[in-house]
């Protein structure tokens, strides 16, 4: 199981990323919010570019924005492993798929807690990752929504049945107590659990199980 660490909610982003970079965490998770798709708004692209001064880790970019296609070119210039968009946005998913392919970036689709898992089935053979939101997008520190667990199992079953390599990632409210319920998951996105701990590496190791 891989870990993608989010710094959303950090009061000192530079220091948090520096400390994360000293661990064996697999990815740094970037939550990008435009104040339109969700109420919250995060740093500008120019500010996010400064992350390169603090880490060489691959980036796991989560675009919680109304028009992700407009931002794709900018974020593709960073050290991006995955770029995930929400399906209910204004952008043409086909254009996002083709543009990401041009950049050699693996594209993901996000499912909100209220979304039926079947919504993503038509795209499973064309994407690299499904991000299952286990909280409502936009705010850090929310509690894990247990109702997504059956959806994760259903999604894993569908991926296995088709013989696909599509990864499942879960984002939101993951703790050392509930991570045991996520055995069907490939990547865990964790923010508060890691960055509010006294020892980042120890917490990351425990999350891996």
> Could you give the residue numbers annotated as active site?
31, 171
List, in order, residues 6 or more apart from 196 with CB less than 8 Å away: none
Strand partners of residue 171:
133, 189
Give the three-class secondary structure for 11: coil
Strand (E) or helix (H) holding 31: strand 27-33
Q: Is 163 left (phi over 0), alpha (psi -120 to 50) or beta?
A: left
Give the three-class secondary structure for 117: helix
Q: Are 137 and 64 in contact (CB under 8 A)?
A: yes
DSSP 60: E
């Amino acid at each position: 199981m891989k870990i993608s660490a989010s710094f959303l909610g950090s009061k000192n982003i530079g220091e948090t990323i520096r400390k994360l970079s000293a661990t064996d965490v697999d990815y740094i998770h970037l939550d990008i919010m435009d104040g339109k798709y969700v109420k919250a708004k995060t740093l500008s692209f120019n500010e996010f570019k400064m992350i390169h001064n603090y880490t060489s880790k691959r980036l796991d970019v989560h675009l919680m924005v109304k028009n992700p296609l407009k931002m794709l070119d900018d974020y593709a210039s960073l050290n991006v492993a995955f770029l995930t968009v929400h399906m209910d946005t204004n952008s043409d998913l086909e254009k996002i798929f083709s543009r990401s392919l041009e950049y050699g970036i693996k594209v993901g689709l996000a499912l909100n807690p209220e979304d039926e898992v079947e919504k993503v089935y038509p795209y499973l053979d064309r994407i690299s990752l499904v991000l299952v939101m286990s909280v409502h997008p936009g705010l850090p520190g929310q509690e894990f929504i247990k109702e997504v667990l059956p959806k994760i199992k259903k999604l894993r079953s569908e991926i296995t049945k088709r013989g696909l390599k599509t990864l499942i990632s879960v984002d939101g409210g993951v703790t050392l107590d509930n991570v045991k319920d996520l055995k069907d998951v490939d990547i865990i996105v964790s923010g508060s659990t890691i960055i509010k701990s006294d020892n980042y590496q120890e917490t990351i190791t425990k999350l891996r199980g």
